[in-house]
Amino acid sequence: MGIVSAIGLDTTETLASLRAGRTGIGALTYLKTTHREFPVGEVKLSTEEMRQRMHIPENQPTTRTELMGMMALEQALQQAHVTSDEMAQAAFVSGTTVGGMDMTEQFYPDFLENEQHKEYISQHDCGACTESIADHFGRFASVTTLSTACSSAANAIINGANLLRSGQREIAVVGGSECITMFHLNGFNSLMILDHEQCRPFDATRAGLNLGEGAAFLVIETEASAQRRGAQPLAVLEGYGNACDAFHQTASSPEGEGSYLAMQEALADAGLQPADIDYINAHGTGTPNNDTSESQAMMRLFGEVLPPVSSTKSFTGHTTSASGSIETVICLLAMQEQFLPLNLGWQHQMDDGITPVTNQTPQRPLRHVLCNSFGFGGNDSSLVLGALPPAPSTTISPTPSATTPEVSTSGLYLTAATQISIQEPLSEQWLESPILYEEPYVRSLDPDFKQWLSAGESRRMGKLLKRALASALTAMQQSGVELPDAIITGTGLGCIENTELLLSHLCFEGEENCKPTPFMQSTHNTISSLVSIHTKCHGYNATYAHKEASFDGALEDAWTQMQLGRIRTALVGGQDEMTPDFFKMLCKTGVFGNPGQVAGETAVSIMMSREPSAAALCRLTAVKRIYQPTAAELAAEAKAIGAVDAVMTSVAGTADTEKIARAASLFPDTPLLQFKNLFGDGFTSFGLGVYTAAHILHRQQLPEAMLIPGYEKPQALRRLLVLNDINGKDFTFAQLEIDN
């Protein structure tokens, strides 16, 4: 484990602060903001000092979020003695929401008006942050980013654990990183939930949260891997749960339904009863809403025998996306040293609330610890950590509460697929005669949203949210699934239109009178939580925000959990919009504006099921992601796929010849197709490729415009491969089939 926060730059300093009851919250030092009235939990190093510590050259564009992540990751890799060869076989899963916002908010006027600082445009998104952290240390086998607001790092841990449980990886490095920015300081202030004093979680006088920053990463691995490497485990990840509160974008339900369900699932996954838990590290933000809701959820689950509970955000501040991994490390330290972290600042009992920890001495050994992380949109996650020695089972075991069902080797079923794009929306008639665009930038053709939204709802939502909801509800209706077990979304940029509104206000009007709606809708998981809130779906909920591989992460998550038998149905979405300003910015970096390339927008929703269905469009028979592969590794993955009738490439424009050459070398004598010429290029356009492949197979209809010049039409349409090649660095293989 590795950790960086306001109370220490490593585990030794962190432990000393916890034992001494020493908070890291204080006056602002490094963030450039007019709001000096709010105490925060800043890491006690300037960005330049961090850069020097990590030996980052001055000419390398690097953000504070990346630097903190590098510091924490270095500690974790060193403690686990992970070699470069082992790292090359491991997954790296990180959680963040602000990404490179600390630099974007400084240079946004330059991004718009001139060529200065344009190198930081490419560092803005969450996936760029994750890749910078990972690439600093060498090569990982796969890299992805979770962005579910304040539960991001906890969900990164869950994703990594599922990769281990499913046998896809033996080692995963998981966690998150997040710096304080002017953007989300003002965003939280617009919601009126920042305290002017040090926060007091679960206190009757609590008045809000203190923002914090930091990073933490953990190395998790299977028992077989640990034994083979001679590694010394710190603890066992016994179980985990994720649920959606499905109540409100920024508020928790009074009864804490989402947090209750997440904790309940985590306990069941671990094979434990509530009485087995010896300590709860609560989400405990110090806001009136959260602490009441979480108290109710804990009392519902644990009854009158509530274990010791504390919130360590009174030490670190609320480190938002990084809080799940930072607080997991704190839980591990508490288990190692057998002490209860204090709930600093608590003095007054809440009405119908809990009484948190004020004495470090536990009444019984800490053997099983529950750690809660809850995010905007009601994205609630809980982890159960077990002390060593573990019960006789694998380090990360299959769900003990139920036998993992066998998954048919015939694959999983795509039962519906819908889109809103630059083709005819929510229809497949465009296959007959698709529109071909020559403009470099085209916005989506929107349906009339009245059948899904009232006038009031429509006024409150940006266009991307309307598209996401309409495509999702249509897919659910077509599949006959009223409530899926999981709603999983990929979005590279989220509601970028709302992000720009808040950025513009901050940069050109100042920090006063910021409106809450743009901030609320700027978080990436607004999209998936909106669908859950609209449908009252309390199931698993996650959002992936990893550049052009965002939809890929969502698809892999659904595939993995279905293979494990954790879910039966999933709504997988890919949602991105492209504003005129952001299009111009990305043209400056070379992402757009290339010959023959069209920039488009994406709203795609795909329903997946483990259950066979005569009405299914096709079967999904393989999903594989690989990062920075060698030529031999890439060729081996292609060989494992086997013969296909055609390969749908991610070619974008006439200048994209390297992708064609790479696909041709991997799949010789195989017809190559394109789809971005029909839909435009974007951060989640791979989802449109999967959507198109499903309908081509189902309808046995292939538009002539998809043929790449020089290649003949496939003789059969039974087995298609959709290949996402992201600059020769990041690859996803998705194979779809129908029966002969």
Q: What is the pLDDT of residues 17-32, one digit of tens each?
A: 999 999 999 999 999 9
Mean pLDDT of 250-270: 94
* Domain annotation covers residue 393: no
Report the pLDDT value the prediction gives residue 405, as an integer from 0 to 100: 43
The CATH number linked to 205 is 3.40.47.10
Report the pLDDT value the prediction gives residue 411, as an integer from 0 to 100: 79
Answer whether residue 390 shows pLDDT above 90. Answer: no
Could you please report the per-residue DSSP string of 417-435?
Answer: EEEESSSSTT-SGGGTS--
Q: Does residue 698 sit in the same domain as residue 597?
A: yes
CA atoms within 13 A on the CB side of 9: 12
Mean pLDDT of 144-149: 97
C-alpha to C-alpha distance for 377 and 619, rounded to whole angstroms: 31
C-alpha to C-alpha distance for 216 and 99, rounded to whole angstroms: 15
Q: Does residue 290 sit in the same domain as residue 433?
A: no
Share of the chain above pLDDT 70, in %: 97
C-alpha to C-alpha distance for 417 and 39, rounded to whole angstroms: 48
Mean pLDDT of 647-653: 96
Distant-in-sequence, close-in-space partners of 667: CB < 8 Å, separation ≥ 6: 638, 644, 647, 721
Could you list the residue range(s) of the whole structural domain that residue 217 is in? 2-386
Q: Does residue 458 sit in the same domain as residue 351?
A: no
Mean pLDDT of 192-218: 97
Asked if 730 and 627 count as a contact pair (C-beta separation under 8 A), the reply is yes
Answer whether residue 460 shows pLDDT above 90. Answer: no
Which residue, 369, 386, 403, sits at the end of a domain?
386
Could you please report the per-residue DSSP string of 287-351?
Answer: -HHHHHHHHHHHHHHHTT-PPPEE-THHHH-B-GGGHHHHHHHHHHHHHHHT-PPP-TT--SBPT
| Residue 401: pLDDT band with limits 50, 70, 90 | very low
Report the pLDDT value the prediction gives residue 410, as an integer from 0 to 100: 59
Q: Does residue 224 sit in the same domain as residue 332?
A: yes
| Residue 399: pLDDT band with limits 50, 70, 90 | very low
Answer whether residue 192 shows pLDDT above 90. Answer: yes
Q: What sign results for the dihedral spanned by CA atoms 653, 655, 658, 663? A: positive
Residue in 191, 531, 159, 261 with CA at minimum distance from that of residue 377? 531
Mean pLDDT of 356-363: 95
Report the pLDDT value the prediction gives residue 397, as an integer from 0 to 100: 40
458 burial (CB, 10 Å; 0-12 / 13-18 / 19+) is: middle
* Domain annotation covers residue 402: no
Residue in 535, 601, 541, 536 with CA at minimum distance from that of residue 574? 601
* Domain annotation covers residue 504: no
Range from 154-168, 246-260, 308-322, 720-734 carrying the lowest mean pLDDT: 246-260
Mean pLDDT of 32-57: 96
* Domain annotation covers residue 403: no
Q: Does residue 377 sit in the same domain as residue 419?
A: no
Answer whether residue 195 shows pLDDT above 70. Answer: yes
Asked if 488 and 554 count as a contact pair (C-beta separation under 8 A), the reply is yes
Mean pLDDT of 622-650: 96
* Domain annotation covers residue 513: no
Asked if 239 and 269 count as a contact pair (C-beta separation under 8 A), the reply is yes
Asked if 5 and 316 count as a contact pair (C-beta separation under 8 A), the reply is yes
Which residue, 386, 402, 421, sits at the end of a domain?
386
The secondary structure element, H or E, covering residue 685 is helix 685-699
So which residues are the catalytic ones?
150, 283, 318
Mean pLDDT of the chain: 94
C-alpha to C-alpha distance for 508 and 526, rounded to whole angstroms: 26
Residue 285, Ramachandran bin (φ over 0: left; ψ between -120 and 50: alpha; else beta): alpha
Could you please report the per-residue DSSP string of 170-201?
Answer: SEEEEEEEE---HHHHHHHHHTT-B-SS---T
Q: Does residue 438 sit in the same domain as residue 381?
A: no
C-alpha to C-alpha distance for 346 and 412, rounded to whole angstroms: 51
* Domain annotation covers residue 534: no
Q: Does residue 172 sit in the same domain as residue 250?
A: yes
Asked if 94 and 130 count as a contact pair (C-beta separation under 8 A), the reply is yes
Q: Does residue 228 sit in the same domain as residue 304?
A: yes
C-alpha to C-alpha distance for 277 and 264, rounded to whole angstroms: 12
Domain count along the chain:
2
Decide the pairing of beta strands 486-490 and 540-544.
parallel
Which residue, 351, 386, 421, sits at the end of a domain?
386
Mean pLDDT of 445-451: 95
C-alpha to C-alpha distance for 525 and 531, rounded to whole angstroms: 10
Q: Does residue 368 sit in the same domain as residue 427?
A: no
The secondary structure element, H or E, covering residue 146 is strand 142-146
Answer whether residue 268 shows pLDDT above 90. Answer: yes
* Domain annotation covers residue 672: yes
C-alpha to C-alpha distance for 46 and 41, rounded to whole angstroms: 13
Mean pLDDT of 644-648: 98
CA angle at 250 for the pair 517 and 92, rounded to the nearest 5°:
105
Answer whether residue 285 shows pLDDT above 50. Answer: yes
pLDDT digits (tens, 9 = 90+) for 580-619: 999 999 999 999 999 999 999 999 999 999 998 888 999 9
HEC secondary structure over 570-626: EEEEEEECCCHHHHHHHHHHCCCCCCCCCECCEEEEEEEECCCCCCCCEEEEEEEEE
C-alpha to C-alpha distance for 456 and 474, rounded to whole angstroms: 21
Report the pLDDT value the prediction gives residue 400, as an integer from 0 to 100: 38
Q: Does residue 33 sit in the same domain as residue 158?
A: yes
pLDDT digits (tens, 9 = 90+) for 464-522: 999 999 999 999 999 999 999 999 999 999 999 999 999 999 999 999 999 999 999 99
399 burial (CB, 10 Å; 0-12 / 13-18 / 19+) is: middle
* Domain annotation covers residue 153: yes
Distant-in-sequence, close-in-space partners of 502: CB < 8 Å, separation ≥ 6: 183, 186, 187, 514, 515, 518, 519, 522
Q: Does residue 434 sit in the same domain as residue 376?
A: no
Provide the β-strand partners of residue 575: 603
Report the pLDDT value the prediction gives residue 403, as an integer from 0 to 100: 38
Q: Does residue 380 sit in the same domain as residue 417?
A: no
pLDDT digits (tens, 9 = 90+) for 652-674: 988 899 999 999 999 999 999 99
Provide the β-strand partners of residue 239: 384
CA distances, 169 to each of 86, 156, 270, 364, 559 (Å): 11, 14, 21, 36, 14
C-alpha to C-alpha distance for 486 and 540, rounded to whole angstroms: 4
Answer whether residue 429 shows pLDDT above 70. Answer: yes
| Residue 249: pLDDT band with limits 50, 70, 90 | confident
